[in-house]
Structure 1
Amino acid sequence: MILAMLAAAAVNADVAQLGWLAGAWTQARDGGVVQETWLQPRDGVMAGVSQTNRPGRKPFVEHMIISAQPAGVTFTALIQDQPPTAFVLLPGGDGEFVFENKAHDFPQRVFYRRCGEDLCAGIEGVVKGELKRQEWRYTRVR
C-alpha cells in the first residue's frame, strides 16, 4: 500500500513538471488561428482544449488530458466522433515532453517543448512508410 502511494505521488509529480504548459497560447498562420489552453496541474491531472479555425473550414476542437496513469504520465486526446486516444510519456530530455502510442495510425507521437518564451508543439508518425510531422509555435496570450 505504501509503495503504491509513493508510486502515485511520483507520477503526480511528473505531471506537475508540465505546469509550464498552463495558460492560453495562440498561433496565427496562413489565415487560420490555432488556440490551445491548459489548466494548472492539480492532483496528477491537467486539462486542455485546442481550437483551430481556418477560412472556409469547419472549426476543429480537441479536448486533452494529461494524467497520472498506471502506465505513466499519459496524454489523452478526445476528438469528436473518435474514441479517446492515449499516448504515454517517454523518458526524455529537459524541457521537452514526448508522448507515444505506436499502435495508433496517426499520429504516433505528440510533443511539447519550450522555445524561449514560446511553446512548440507537434505531432508525428509514419504514414504509408513515410514520416509525417506537423508543428505549431504558439505565443502566450496570458
Structure 2
Amino acid sequence: MRFALAIAALVVASSANAAPTDEVAKLTWMAGSWRQEKDGVITRETWLAPVGGVMAGAGQTNTPGRKPFVSYYRISAEPAGVTFTAILPGQPPTPFVLLPGKDGEATFENKAHDFPQRVIFRRCGEQLCGRIEGTVGGKVEAEDWRYTRVK
C-alpha cells in the first residue's frame, strides 16, 4: 500500500512539473531572429525554439556613439511556473513568472524588482512586440519595441 501511494505521489508530482514544460512549448511563436531600427538605434533579439521546457534568447542594442549592450534570456519551466530570466551586464539574473493570458501573448511579472516589474511579448501580426513596464518613483514607466523578423 505504501509503495502504491509513493508511486501515485510521484506521478502527481511529475504531472505538476510537466505542465509548465507544456506552457513553455506554447511560446514557440516567439522563436526566430527579430530586429527593430528606430532613431538610429538598432535592437536585435533572437529566440531559440523551445526544447525540453527551455527557450534561450539573446539581445543586442547598438546606439550610435555607445558600446553595444548585450543581454541574455532564458524561459524555463520552474517550480514557480514558467519563468523568464533576464541576464544583464553587471546585474544578477532576474526572474519573472508568466501570468495567465491568451495565446500569442506572454506577460512575465516580478513585483519585487525595481524596474521593470513586467516583461511582455505578443505577436503583432507578422511582427513581435516587446514591452517592459513598471513603476519608478510612483510613476508608471514603459519601453516598447516592434520587431520585424530577420530573414
**TM-score (norm. length: structure 2):** 0.92
How many Å apart are 1:32 and its aligned residue? Answer: 1.0
| Residue equivalent to 1:141 | 150
Amino acid aligned to 1:14: E
Query: Any unmatched runs of 5+ in structure 1?
Result: none
Q: Does 1:6 align with 2:15?
A: yes
Task: Report sequence identity in percent.
Answer: 62
How many Å apart are 1:4 and its aligned residue? Answer: 1.4
- Of 75, 79, 82, the residue aligned with 1:66 is 75
Give the SS at the match of 1:34. strand
Q: Distance in 2 between matches of 1:38 and 1:8?
A: 23
Cα displacement string for residues 66-102 of structure 1 (whole angstroms, at most 9, x for unaligned residues): 0000000000000111100000001112321100000
Q: Distance in 2 between matches of 1:89 and 1:21?
A: 14
User: Could you say what the CA RMSD is over the residues aligned between the two structures, in angstroms?
Assistant: 0.7
Q: Distance in 1 between matches of 2:120 and 2:127?
A: 14
Q: Distance in 1 between matches of 2:75 and 2:16?
A: 17
Query: Any unmatched runs of 5+ in structure 2?
Result: 1-9
How many Å apart are 1:18 and its aligned residue? Answer: 0.5
Q: Distance in 1 between matches of 2:108 and 2:45?
A: 17
- Of 13, 20, 45, the residue aligned with 2:54 is 45
Q: Distance in 2 between matches of 1:61 and 1:14?
A: 27
Which runs of structure 1 show a deviation greater than 6 angstroms over 4 or more consecutive aligned residues? none
Instruction: Kindly indicate whether the alpha-carbon contact (under 8 Å) linking 2:25 and 2:51 is maintained by their aligned counterparts in 1.
Output: yes
Q: Does 1:101 align with 2:110?
A: yes
Q: Distance in 2 between matches of 1:37 and 1:4?
A: 33
